[in-house]
Amino acid sequence: MEKQELNSFIQQRLENLKWLQEKGIPGFGEKFLRTHWAQQVQDDFNELEGKEVSLSGRLLSKREHGKAMFGDISDQSGSVQLYLRVNSIGEEKFEIFQSLDIGDLIGITGEVFKTRRGEVTINVSCFEIQAKSLRPLPEKWHGLKDVELRYRQRYLDLIVNPEVREIFMRRSRIIASIRRFLDYREFLEVETPILQPIPGGGNARPFVTHHKTLGRDLYLRIALELYLKKLIVGGFDRVYEIGRNFRNEGFSYKHSPEFTMLELYQVNTDYQDMMELTENMISSVSQEVLGSQKIDYQGEEIDLTPPWKRMTMVEVVKEFTGVDFENIDLETAREKAEEKGVRIKTGFSLGEILNEFFEQKVEDNLIQPTFIMDYPVEVSPLAKKIPDNPDFTYRFEGFIGGMEMANAFTELNDPIDQRERFEKQVAQREAGDEEAHMMDEDFIRALEYGMPPTGGLGIGIDRIIMVLTNTRNIREVILFPPMRPEEKE
Domain assignment present for 93? yes
Q: Does residue 488 surpass a pLDDT of 70?
A: no
Domain assignment present for 86? yes
Identify the band that residue 142 occupies on the pLDDT scale cut at 50, 70 and 90. very low
Regarding whether 472 and 433 lie in a shared domain, the answer is yes
How many domains does the chain fold into? Answer: 2
**pLDDT tens across 2-31, in order?**
677 778 889 999 999 999 999 999 999 999
Regarding whether 192 and 127 lie in a shared domain, the answer is no
pLDDT in the model for residue 141 = 41
Domain that includes residue 264, residue range: 162-308+368-476
> How many Cβ atoms sit within 10 Å of the Cβ of residue 67?
12
Least confident of 241-255, 350-364, 433-447, 472-486: 433-447
Regarding whether 122 and 69 lie in a shared domain, the answer is yes
Please tell me what DSSP assigns to residue 224.
Answer: S
Identify the band that residue 34 occupies on the pLDDT scale cut at 50, 70 and 90. very high
Regarding whether 279 and 175 lie in a shared domain, the answer is yes
Q: Which of 39, 10, 300, 18 is nearest to 166 (CA)?
A: 39
pLDDT in the model for residue 2 = 65
On the question of a cis peptide bond just before residue 197, with omega within 30 degrees of 0, the verdict is no
pLDDT in the model for residue 454 = 98
Regarding whether 190 and 130 lie in a shared domain, the answer is no
Q: Which of 349, 329, 333, 353 is nearest to 427 (CA)?
A: 349
pLDDT in the model for residue 438 = 80
Q: Which residues contact 379 (CB under 8 A, 6 or more apart)?
A: 203, 351, 352, 355
Domain assignment present for 487? no
Domain assignment present for 153? no
Regarding whether 375 and 297 lie in a shared domain, the answer is yes
End residue of a domain, out of 103, 121, 137: 137
Angle value at C-alpha 315, between 357 and 300, nearest 5 degrees = 80
Regarding whether 283 and 248 lie in a shared domain, the answer is yes
Regarding whether 100 and 23 lie in a shared domain, the answer is yes
Please give the residue that has the higher pLDDT: either 149 or 120: 120
Regarding whether 172 and 120 lie in a shared domain, the answer is no
Please tell me what DSSP assigns to residue 9.
Answer: H
Regarding whether 86 and 201 lie in a shared domain, the answer is no
Q: Does residue 133 surpass a pLDDT of 90?
A: yes
Q: Which of 199, 243, 203, 201 is nearest to 219 (CA)?
A: 199
Q: Does residue 78 surpass a pLDDT of 70?
A: yes
Domain assignment present for 340? no
Identify the band that residue 416 occupies on the pLDDT scale cut at 50, 70 and 90. very high
> What CA–CA distance (Å, rounded) separates 350 from 392?
11
Q: Does residue 98 surpass a pLDDT of 90?
A: yes
- CATH assignment at residue 404: 3.30.930.10
Domain assignment present for 347? no
**pLDDT tens across 199-227, in order?**
888 788 999 999 999 999 999 999 999 99
> How many Cβ atoms sit within 10 Å of the Cβ of residue 305?
13
Domain assignment present for 482? no
Q: Cβ-count burial of 249 within 10 angstroms (0-12 exposed, 13-18 middle, 19+ buried)?
A: middle
Regarding whether 211 and 85 lie in a shared domain, the answer is no
Report the share of the chain in percent with pLDDT over 70: 98
Identify the band that residue 115 occupies on the pLDDT scale cut at 50, 70 and 90. very high
Q: Does residue 1 surpass a pLDDT of 60?
A: no
Please give the residue that has the higher pLDDT: either 428 or 435: 428
Domain assignment present for 108? yes
Any idea how long the chain is? 489
Least confident of 141-150, 199-208, 423-432, 436-445: 141-150
Write the DSSP assignment of 67-99 as a string of letters: TEEEEEEEETTEEEEEEEEHHHH-HHHHHHHHH
Residue 68, strand partner residues: 65, 85
State the amino acid at position 300 in one-letter form: E
- CATH assignment at residue 43: 2.40.50.140
Q: Which of 9, 13, 10, 31 is nearest to 21 (CA)?
A: 13
422's enclosing H/E stretch is helix 415-430
pLDDT in the model for residue 434 = 76
Regarding whether 129 and 169 lie in a shared domain, the answer is no
